[in-house]
Structure 1
Amino acid sequence: MTTADGEELLRVTGLTLAPVGGGLPVLREATLTLASGRVLGVIGRSGSGKSSLALSLLGHVRPGLERRSGTVRVAGLDPFDRSGARRLRGRVVSFMGQDPAASLNPALRIGAQVAEAVRLRSPGLSDVAGQVRSLLSSVRLPADRAFLRRRPHQLSGGQAQRVALAAALAGRPRLLVLDEPTGSLDTVLAHQMRELLTELVRDGDRTAVLVSHDPDWVAALADEVIRLDDGRITASGPPRTVLLVGPHVTAPADRADAGTSRTAVGENRGELRVCDLSAAHGRRVVLHEVSLTVPAGTCTAVVGPSGSGKTTLARCLVGLHRAVRGTTGWRDGFDGPPVASGRGRAVQLVAQDSRGALNPRESVRTALMRPLTGLRGMSAEEAAAEAGRTLGLVGLAPAILSRRPGELSGGERQRVNLARALAGAPQVLVCDEITSALDPEIGAGVLDLLTSLRRTLGLTVLLVTHDLTEVARYADRVVVLDGGRVVESGPPGRVFDRPEHAVTRELVGCSRVGPVRDPG
């Protein structure tokens, strides 16, 4: 992949990464080269080895894995060698992952964090303060005293991402490794971040490796693309060639009939009801008198920009965040906060972070048996049998029961999280950004599964998402939040085709909303 336009900056030769102690490799004999000033796009399904390849460029291997064979050279240095890593990291190569804001120290002010990165990567620099201001300006952030004195929790999601990017750029790295850096952002912020990164890479003539689920961004930014399947590089070449081949993704129209409308579940009774709900973080009110209802067997999607209160609403519904006033609950002859259904919980959460939601030391069997014994009062023998059946509901084989989260792909982990929620025998599932870390095909598979479960189990779903295409395909109704208030609601077709509020128009304008199914 080198060209006459630039010297070779990156070379990977026969790299194989596999579980410690044996097992199938997650990366198999990967070989590639990249010239200075070029951008390499890396695509593939969840679990195909993309992130493992990206991390290896810094000499890092995830816990539980080891390098069995192969070499990596960046600017002629070995990142797996301690001396090479010390000379490379932050100065020659820098990394931004799916949640770069997590790298920020919550105890340090923003100015101090960026200044620390500058001193570490540019020792001896006399004008550190000037470099901090320059870096913040380059990522479209203010550099006044008030902003520099803020701490990470006082920033929006997009601002935190850009501060992390400024720190990553402090050493003026020649190679920037981007592993889904917009995956945790809402539609508008992700669009803005992609524009910024595209500008920084192109205008700065930087060499970059871009791992992304967004084929449009890869096509716009990358000079060349590789596709990974089951750890192997199965295709490489120009974007127009590689992006047009590969696993088939079912078209939206093919999935439209999979939706479960209100008329199709007419036998169900009850509804999830939220009445005048207000909630706060400390003294700051983040939800203002939010009201909505989700009839049994239907799906309502909640969308809105970062900081609009979507996740706080989800946490209030499952009892993880105490409301200031108002009520939430499943109405089936009673009212109030989330209530017990038999020995289970009426409302269960499926969280965004599938890895963080599971104990890395516990097997899948243990994760599923806990709600079966604790919430439903089953014996250990009964729970063991039910764990296998519940896993089957989400399309996973019994062999998964003995594995730990680190041995699963992203899609498998999310299905395990879904199975754990189902183990509590809920009437309502609250799904908070459950596909944001998954590639489009795997994410669509999870949502297809959720739709099937709605039909077979009569589940009611509240779907918190920033992906309006998901809303268009799967939801019966959409609620738009802004500043903790409901600013618009209705069927997706009406809301997306004729948005009335400025925030809705902005969300739609930054999205590629596909065909909207008729909720019946």
Structure 2
Amino acid sequence: MLKVEGLTIRFRTAPVDRPVVDGVGFSVGAGQSVALVGESGSGKTLTCRSILHILPRGAEVAGGSILFGRGPEAVDLLRVSRSGLRDIRGSRISMIFQEPMSALSPLHSIGDQTMEVLRLHGHCNRQSARDRCLAMFERVGFPDPLRAFRSYPFQLSGGLRQRAMIAMAMVARPQLLIADEPTTALDVTLQAQVLALIKELQAETGMAVLLVTHDLGVVANMADAVVVMRAGRVMESGCCADVLGRPLHGYTRKLMAAAPSIPEMTCALPAAGAEDAILEFHGVAKSYERGSARVRALDGIDLSVRRGETLAIVGESGSGKTTMARLAMLAERPDPGGRLLFRPSAGEPPLDLLSAAGPELTAYRRRAQMVFQDPYASLSPRMSVGEIIAEPLAIHGVCDRGERRERVQALMAQVGLDPAWACRYPHAFSGGQRQRIGIARALALDPQLLICDEPTSALDVSVQAQVLDLLESIKRRLGLSLMFISHDLAVVARLADRVAVMRAGRVMEQAPPAVLFSAPLHPYTRALIAASPEPDVSRPIDVATVALGAGAPDLWPEAFRPTPDGAPPPLVEAAPGHFVRGHFARRAA
């Protein structure tokens, strides 16, 4: 279906002898999945974008060929006319982009943008297009397809926006699907369902898939063949089982060693000790108006972040994780009746954040910083990287201009960026590099509390390991407290001291990771663990367990179901330090 030979891409301002993609070649057969794997900046996305002629400004194809189609219908996409390319884009070849917020139009509803694919290529009339879109929204896991159809991108969470991108790419049933990190912003349960959906469509239509990902667990579950890239060149390629099971190149072995996985854990009770909370949520709820309806994003959250600990919050997209982070940063206000307390030092009376103002509020904003989920949308395109990282220092008057410059260079080196790049702008960096910029900015003020909203979701495995090492070392050195939001349970298992599992605005289960991963009680927690992909082709995702736990609460075992009037079960302490939402008594210690 696709054959790439000798593909070379360079930037016009760079020396001729230093291409960013150098002689890359691979092929994708009908119904086959081929994964492009490599570190951020290795040329994976540029290779995919060259197929559809959507390279960034300044980049050009300097050589090679890209043949698309089978037999006599094959055309060289590098030499096809513009009108011929328009007929192919979106219809025969679709692409799922890495950053849905920047790829979706803010002026059009999700439904109109998805229907546009069908209307432009003459597949059906408006009513038929609407029906097909709603059916696809349901298949990709929208909890309310009609609401999503009418929503605009800013009204959806990062994970829901990614689902919209997937639906838009797949609604026309293309012959080739180019998926650039298609599950980056998705929780593991939805990721498992989306991967199963892509496989299902492949079986129905013979669709070929070119998958770009840094998650070797996704590769093991999806790919028939793997192409490993580094610095614009192919290091190793072959059958998935061979490349992952018996890697030959040193770089591939390095990627495999860095791939996170949930370790085998022994159930252990948490150590007793006085709880010193730096941030507390008491009865916090948050509702949003959606037309005539009122949507409850959070429902009576009682949770605390202890001083010096990492509290991980996991759950599917739309469960309220990011809403909690925004409330903690006072970017939004909760519904009346809840309380948010911050205690700067142990033994001090807490500060009521909802009534704080003036100097108290300014001091809190210096002590609490946030790493945002979407690095592209959270970085100003009009500021250089050095200016972005230095901005918090300038706002709070921490140091003079010369000291700021030194501090920026040190922060860039800490997060794995060349300090010489401080004069560049965000568009010149890959998705993973932009995330590192956001982390450096958040660390600039040496905060006490760091709120991380999916901080490693856009990073390849080797850089992810470096960033986690960085967060752990800074946490130890500064006594930092982390509120860590993630859908990657392998990252959570490594980093967290406690884990809170959320669904539909409520905490379903809460325990230390050793307890939670070795003896989960709630069916939704079990689904999250079963859905976590491992870089081993012999251990595929258990889709049945995922479907049960991630399905409707009425399908759960009776102890975990809502009451007949729809009220959720209470959150009870089933064992010391282990809380679960269910109808049963506390276990004996």
Q: Same fold (TM over 0.5)?
A: yes
Task: Find the counterpart in structure 1 of residue 486 from structure 2.
Answer: 465
Shift of 1:508: 2.1
- Separation in structure 2 between the aligned mates of residue 149 and residue 181 of structure 1, nearest angstrom: 19
Residue 15 of structure 1 pairs with residue 10 of structure 2: no
Post-superposition Cα deviations, 1:476-507, rounded to whole Å, max 9, x if no partner, equal 00112222122221211212222233322222
Q: Percent identity?
A: 36
Task: Find the counterpart in structure 2 of residue 152 from structure 1.
Answer: 151
SS at match of 2:209: strand
Unaligned runs of 5+ in 2: 69-73, 265-269, 536-576, 578-589
- Separation in structure 1 between the aligned mates of residue 101 and residue 431 of structure 2, nearest angstrom: 20
Shift of 1:182: 1.4
Structure 1 residues 130 and 422 mapped into 2: Cα distance closer, same or farther (>3 Å)? closer
Task: Find the counterpart in structure 2 of residue 423 from structure 1.
Answer: 444
Alignment of 1:400-419 (within 5 A): 400-419=421-440
Task: Find the counterpart in structure 1 of residue 501 from structure 2.
Answer: 480
- Separation in structure 1 between the aligned mates of residue 145 and residue 317 of structure 2, nearest angstrom: 22
Does the 8 A contact of 2:4 with 2:66 survive in 1? yes
Shift of 1:305: 1.8
- Separation in structure 1 between the aligned mates of residue 163 and residue 241 of structure 2, nearest angstrom: 30
Does the 8 A contact of 1:469 with 1:513 survive in 2? no
Unaligned runs of 5+ in 1: 1-8, 257-261
Residue 275 of structure 1 pairs with residue 296 of structure 2: no
Shift of 1:288: 2.0
- Separation in structure 2 between the aligned mates of residue 290 and residue 378 of structure 1, nearest angstrom: 39
- Separation in structure 1 between the aligned mates of residue 409 and residue 225 of structure 2, nearest angstrom: 44
Structure 1 residues 300 and 271 mapped into 2: Cα distance closer, same or farther (>3 Å)? same
2:445 partner amino acid: G
Task: Find the counterpart in structure 2 of residue 259 from structure 1.
Answer: none
Residue 320 of structure 1 pairs with residue 334 of structure 2: no
Task: Find the counterpart in structure 1 of residue 116 from structure 2.
Answer: 116
Residue 78 of structure 1 pairs with residue 77 of structure 2: yes
SS at match of 2:351: coil
Shift of 1:222: 3.0
Residue 369 of structure 1 pairs with residue 375 of structure 2: no
SS at match of 2:179: strand
SS at match of 2:352: coil
Shift of 1:60: 1.0
**Higher alpha-carbon deviation: 167-176 or 105-114:** 105-114
- Separation in structure 1 between the aligned mates of residue 522 and residue 177 of structure 2, nearest angstrom: 38
Shift of 1:226: 1.1
Post-superposition Cα deviations, 1:152-189, rounded to whole Å, max 9, x if no partner, equal 35878777655544443454422221112111111111
SS at match of 1:345: helix
Q: 1:45 aligns with which of 15, 39, 44?
A: 39
Shift of 1:469: 1.3
- Separation in structure 2 between the aligned mates of residue 114 and residue 388 of structure 1, nearest angstrom: 43
Structure 1 residues 251 and 220 mapped into 2: Cα distance closer, same or farther (>3 Å)? closer
SS at match of 1:22: coil
- Separation in structure 2 between the aligned mates of residue 355 and residue 158 of structure 1, nearest angstrom: 15
SS at match of 2:61: strand
Structure 1 residues 131 and 361 mapped into 2: Cα distance closer, same or farther (>3 Å)? closer
Q: TM-score, normalised by structure 2?
A: 0.75
Q: TM-score, normalised by structure 1?
A: 0.84
- Separation in structure 2 between the aligned mates of residue 255 and residue 196 of structure 1, nearest angstrom: 28
Q: 1:456 aligns with which of 470, 477, 483?
A: 477
Does the 8 A contact of 1:301 with 1:475 survive in 2? yes
Q: 2:351 aligns with which of 303, 318, 335?
A: 335
Does the 8 A contact of 1:297 with 1:459 survive in 2? yes
Task: Find the counterpart in structure 1 of residue 174 from structure 2.
Answer: 173
- Separation in structure 2 between the aligned mates of residue 474 and residue 445 of structure 1, nearest angstrom: 13
Q: 1:286 aligns with which of 292, 297, 315?
A: 297
Task: Find the counterpart in structure 1 of residue 242 from structure 2.
Answer: 241
Q: 1:353 aligns with which of 353, 374, 380?
A: 374
- Separation in structure 2 between the aligned mates of residue 148 and residue 300 of structure 1, nearest angstrom: 32
CA RMSD of aligned residues (A): 3.5
- Separation in structure 2 between the aligned mates of residue 390 and residue 439 of structure 1, nearest angstrom: 20
